[in-house]
Amino acid sequence: MTSGARHPDDPAAPRLRSDAERNRGRIIAAGRSVFARDGLNASMASVAREAGVGIATILRHFPTKEELVAAVFSDRMDAYADAVAAALDDPDPWRGFTGYIETACAMQAADYGFADVLTMTFPTAKAMEKRRDEAYASMVELINRAKATGRLREDFDPSDLVLIHMANAGVVNATGDAAPDAWRRVVALIVQSLETPARGPLPPSPEHDALYKAMLRAGPAGPTAPAPDKSD
């Protein structure tokens, strides 16, 4: 054993693990603040400054930006899935459907980072993507129920939800503090356009693979880094 190595029974070892856990918590909290304010275009260096740690410390805990995003927004994705479940529980499918759209768009308006998250996909964030997939499956069921009531236009496609989130994210990011409620008018215009009777047919919806590629392209590109040092 080298002189610099710690013995497993060294009382300082638990403190080191505790320090690392505190650093992780500070990084996640900083990520919430920075991404909510600046969106997912914010750099890892910005998060490091907010957390009061070095970029190397962030990369030891989160080797890629995608991993940090997944940790920061796991609770928001849970809240999003809960909103879908609440919409599905509404005895009025049309009210549940429109209420979901308004709730999800409000979540985007309240957090620039989450506005981006709903327009992107994160292939390595398995838990977050699984939660998104569960919410999507519930939304497909809700869409079918809303159509069965005769209130939702028949040519509405589940992929249109992604387009709605993309449109809302664009409005939220463009208007910012200058017109913080502009998204509400856009959402009202969208919702009213979805109700029957439809004034005319819609153009074809994007192919699933094409839309997935668009969401993948929009995702944050994480920095490359050497294998993390497990000591922090």
pLDDT by residue for the chain (232 residues), tens only, comes to 444 444 434 444 455 477 878 889 999 999 999 999 999 999 999 999 999 999 999 999 999 999 999 999 999 999 999 999 999 999 999 999 999 999 999 999 999 999 999 999 888 889 998 998 999 999 999 999 999 999 999 999 999 999 999 999 999 999 988 999 999 999 999 999 999 999 899 999 888 888 888 888 766 653 333 333 334 4
Backbone angles phi, psi at 152, to 5 degrees: -95, 130
Tokens of 107: 């979540």
Contact 55, 44 (CB under 8 A): yes
**What pLDDT score does 211 carry?**
83
State the amino acid at position 127 in one-letter form.
Answer: A
Residue 5, burial from CB neighbour count under 10 angstroms (0-12, 13-18, 19+): exposed
pLDDT for residue 220: 65
The dihedral over CA atoms of 191, 196, 201, 202, expressed in degrees to the nearest 10, equals: 20
Cis peptide before 123 (omega within 30 of 0): no
